[in-house]
Amino acid sequence: MKVVFHEAFYPVYAADPAAAAGRMEAIMEVLTPAAEVVEPDPAGKAQIAAVHTAAHIEWVKSEGVYEVAALAAGGAILTAETGLKEPCFAAIRPPGHHASSDSAWGFCYFNNMAVALTHLKKKGKIDTAYVLDIDLHYGDGTVEILGAKDWATVYNVAAAGRSTIMKRIRIEMETCRADVIGVSAGFDNHEKDWGGTLTTDDYRKIGRMVKTATLHCGGGCFALLEGGYNHRVLGQNALALMEGMQGGY
């Protein structure tokens, strides 16, 4: 499986857990031996402006994070394009699912998922898209941007308890029909992270459910890194999701 990553994601860019030193190192230390690493280019101004207002873009620039945020959005685009052919994972930051069209919070700046899927749609590469957000926190930004689109479906796993979460994902994937499934891959619901709920093998099972859904609807799949803050388990959880999306056990 290809992993989209750039060394510019290593440096600390803000005082928040998503930018903490060692986070990306913990992921890439595990993923690099198992994958082909591909470097992205930054998203273009028009690609970002397709989902964000001019005022919001100016605010991101004022925060001094435009370059790394645009690179993350470009990584999401490359990951989504690759996902149409084969499963692909984006080890990118800043994350994006709390970024709305004209505001952002929760360590996010640009909505990487919305930028990527809107790009695919505008280029005529997809007719429909499905977003499975497995982060501990509700992806309000993705819902605000894509929720009202007739070509996109956004599902946030808002449930208490491991069995309920897994059941709801299974039902969603069994009924999903879309040209591409994008996973907002937050790993902060892990039993040793903030959520204290899912196991590492659960992420592997989620990946398999996504892969099976793509086989049923003849589409592709990809995943974008969102949350996940325990560096000791983050890489293994990302690897498990990747293995599942490849159909592995």
| Strand order from edge to edge, sheet including 180-185 | 36-38, 2-4, 88-90, 220-225, 180-185, 129-133, 152-156
How confident is the model over 13-38, as a mean pLDDT?
Answer: 95
Nearest to 209 by CA among 130, 127, 93: 130
The residue to which tokens 């599902």 are assigned: 155
**Which residues, including other chains, have CB under 8 Å from residue 125's CB and lie 6 or more apart?**
81, 84
Task: Please give the domain boundaries of the chain with CATH numbers for all domains.
Answer: 2-245 (3.40.800.20)
* Residue 231: exposure state from Cβ atoms within 10 A (0-12, 13-18, ≥19): middle
CA separation for the pair 3, 81 (Å, rounded): 12
Which one-letter amino acid corresponds to residue 209?
M
* pLDDT surpassing 60 at residue 248: no
* 155-to-135, 152, 168 alpha-carbon distances in Å: 11, 10, 10
Task: For residue 190, list its beta bridge partners.
Answer: 198
Q: What is the mean pLDDT of residues 225-247?
A: 97
In the predicted model, what is the mean pLDDT of the chain?
Answer: 96
Q: Which sequence positions are flagged as catalytic?
A: 98
Kindly state the percentage of the chain with pLDDT values over 70. Answer: 99
Residue 157 confidence (pLDDT): 93
Per-residue confidence (pLDDT) for residue 43, from 0 to 100: 98
Residues 70-128 have pLDDT tens digits of 999 999 999 999 999 999 999 999 999 999 999 999 999 999 999 999 999 999 999 99
Quick: pLDDT tens for 26-66.
Answer: 999 999 999 999 999 999 999 999 999 999 999 999 999 99
pLDDT digits (tens, 9 = 90+) for 183-202: 999 999 999 999 999 999 99
Q: Report residue 69's pLDDT band, with 50, 70 and 90 as the boundaries.
A: very high
What is the reported pTM? 0.97
